[in-house]
Amino acid sequence: MHSDTSNEPVGVRLAVPADASLCSSLLLEQMVERIQRVAPETLSQILSNLDRSKMLLSWQEAISQEDGEVVLVATEGQKIVGFAAFLPVVQEENQPSSGNGDDNLAEITVFVVDAKAVGRGHGSRLLQALADHAKEKYSSLQIWIAKDDRNRVRFFQEAGFGPLPVSRELQIGQKRDAENLWATRLAE
């Protein structure tokens, strides 16, 4: 755990389009870490096929559009040290239920804190702000977590999330990375 020796003010705010570049970079770091863990032999190929300009444009649009997606950034001084986003869950007719019996839910699609800033409360502040925004319209929040990501499992478990009886596998190179769906009810 890192100690916060910085005297910089910390906080969480809604993202603005100018934040998209830093958000994309943080997400890319998280993606690289996961690929290295699951299928390191494919890292260079996946990165060479990744269109960073499309990734940047995608986050600029997500931040700018008013379509229900909420994107927040964690800050330390003027520096962005994390970001998170959630979307409303739209249940398809042939899609299995999340298993929590709640049709009014949002899904955390991204939750990233810069590795150099972990342990200074940024993740907790970011998750609290995300929950505060989500509870304005939704009664539950869910997130997919890799089964072997012990740090993320512990963080979300300590924040009141629990596993649901739903799982999926992501294809990364020639390997599959199993994820469980976790959820929490939001206080009214």
User: For 79, what's the count of Cα atoms within 13 Å in the CB-facing half-sphere?
Assistant: 11
Q: How many independent structural domains does the chain possess? A: 1
Structure tokens at 33: 């870490």
> Tokens for 37?
């863990």
CATH code for the domain in which residue 146 is found? 3.40.630.30
Which residue, 29, 118, 34, is CA-closest to 76? Answer: 118
pTM of this prediction? 0.85
Judge whether 150 lies within some domain: yes
Helix (H, G, I), strand (E, B) or coil at 174: coil
Task: With respect to residue 180, please indicate whether it lies within any of the assigned structural domains.
Answer: yes
**Does a structural domain hold residue 92?**
yes
Main-chain phi, psi angles of 73, to 5 degrees? -120, 145
CA atoms within 13 A on the CB side of 15: 31
Q: Tell whether 1 is covered by a domain.
A: no
Could you list the pLDDT tens digit for every one of the 188 residues in the chain?
344 456 788 999 999 999 999 999 999 999 988 988 888 898 888 888 888 889 899 999 999 888 778 999 999 988 999 999 999 998 665 444 454 555 689 999 999 999 887 888 899 999 999 999 999 999 999 999 999 899 999 999 999 999 999 999 998 888 899 999 999 999 76
Q: Is residue 21 part of a domain?
A: no
Cα(14)–Cα(50) distance, integer angstroms? 27
In a domain, 55, yes or no: no
Q: In angstroms, how far is CA 71 from the centroid of its own chain?
A: 10
- Has residue 109 been placed in a domain? yes
Q: Which domain holds residue 78?
A: 10-15+67-185
